[in-house]
Amino acid sequence: MRFTKMHGAGNDYVYVDCFAENLDDRNIAELAQSISHRHFGVGADGLILIRPSEIADARMQMLNADGSESEMCGNGIRCVAKYVFDHGIAKQEQLKIESGGSVRDLSLTIGADGKVEAVTVDMGEPILEAPLVPTSLVDHGHVVGHEVEFDGQKLSVTCVSMGNPHCVIFVPQATDELVLGLGPKIETDPRFPKRINVEFVEIISRSEVRQRTWERGSGETWACGTGASAVCVAGVLTGNTDRKILNHLLGGDLVLQWNETSGRVNMTGGAVEVFSGEWNA
């Protein structure tokens, strides 16, 4: 099976082109676990399958390193767009990619080498109704700057779904203790029935933040695009930041904007192809 390793802001996945490869006989949850393993496999935050779609240029199917499937991946969808364009699956600079039942519009920036350098994605409207995020922290309404105790620590949390669930926490310092210590406990807290991705965010100014992420199913990653979009929304709702922010993640920067008129979030960032290989297992 041929595969391609790509990353967006250091959030790295193994990509398989299912226009060319037939994965029908494979258990893809097991494949995601073994191929993602940093010692026994290729090493990645997860596995992304680039599949044909009836309603878009391609369909993204995204699996975390533990084999669980997610509805959406912001850094992944930029890489899928780069793959689709650079490998000639679709040759236009405006693409439509399906993920988790929704179709996203993407706009490509082409570099001097004729390949995709950066991608802007319409990430859609955030979902804030607690039961839809989902979270049982409240019965109905939104969870914005809500004081919640995790493992004896009181934190102010905002819950946002960008197709997948996020818990955003603004902190003075995104320490290892919070990200690696509390992150996994929040991920699996029963008040988040589908588990949750957790973002710890330092505010630098009204237009600039620094984010560390503990991802559902993958642990700490170097960036999270849906998470960065959720942070943009949470920053506005809590009054911490403006509608447009520059977000510094461990592996690179993303620019996010929550449009006041449309209510939709736009995300811009890079996409990089690292290498291709053949998986023999």
Closest alpha carbon to 8 in 52, 44, 49, 61: 44
- For residue 72, give the amino acid letter: M
Our finding on whether 14 is near ligand API (CB under 6 A) is: no
Select from 217, 235, 252, 269 the one that contacts ligand API (CB under 6 A): 217
Our finding on whether 247 is near ligand API (CB under 6 A) is: no
Our finding on whether 164 is near ligand API (CB under 6 A) is: yes
Binding segment for ligand API among 50-58, 106-114, 135-143, 212-220 (CB under 6 A)? 212-220
Both tokens of 132, joined, read: 């839809």
Distance CA 142, CA 124 (A): 18
Distance CA 14, CA 251 (A): 17
CB of 164 to ligand API, least distance (A): 3
- For residue 46, give the amino acid letter: G
Our finding on whether 64 is near ligand API (CB under 6 A) is: yes
CB of 218 to ligand API, least distance (A): 5
Helix (H) or strand (E) holding 269: strand 265-270
Binding segment for ligand API among 34-42, 69-77, 113-121, 182-190 (CB under 6 A)? 69-77
| DSSP track, 51-114 | E--SSSSEEEEEEETTS-EES--HHHHHHHHHHHHHTTS---SEEEEEETTEEEEEEEEE-TTS
CB of 185 to ligand API, least distance (A): 16
Both tokens of 4, joined, read: 């391609």
Our finding on whether 252 is near ligand API (CB under 6 A) is: no
Helices (H), the chain: 28-36, 74-86, 176, 183-187, 225-237
Our finding on whether 124 is near ligand API (CB under 6 A) is: no
The bridge status of strand 153-161 relative to strand 146-150 is antiparallel
206 labelled binding-site residue: no
Our finding on whether 158 is near ligand API (CB under 6 A) is: no
State in Å, rounded, how far the first CA of the chain is from the last one: 9
CB of 68 to ligand API, least distance (A): 6
- For residue 102, give the amino acid letter: S
Cα 248 versus chain centre, distance: 14
- Catalytic (active-site) positions: 73, 224
The length of the chain in residues reads: 281
Our finding on whether 265 is near ligand API (CB under 6 A) is: no
Distance CA 86, CA 59 (A): 16
CB of 163 to ligand API, least distance (A): 8
Nearer to ligand API, 76 or 270 (CB): 76
Our finding on whether 74 is near ligand API (CB under 6 A) is: yes
Our finding on whether 98 is near ligand API (CB under 6 A) is: no
Our finding on whether 216 is near ligand API (CB under 6 A) is: yes
Our finding on whether 99 is near ligand API (CB under 6 A) is: no
Binding segment for ligand API among 26-34, 129-137, 153-161, 211-219 (CB under 6 A)? 211-219
Please report, as ranges, the residues that interact with ligand API according to CB under 6 A.
11, 64, 70, 73-76, 164, 197, 215-218, 221, 224-227
Binding residues: 11, 64, 74-75, 164, 197, 215-216, 225-226
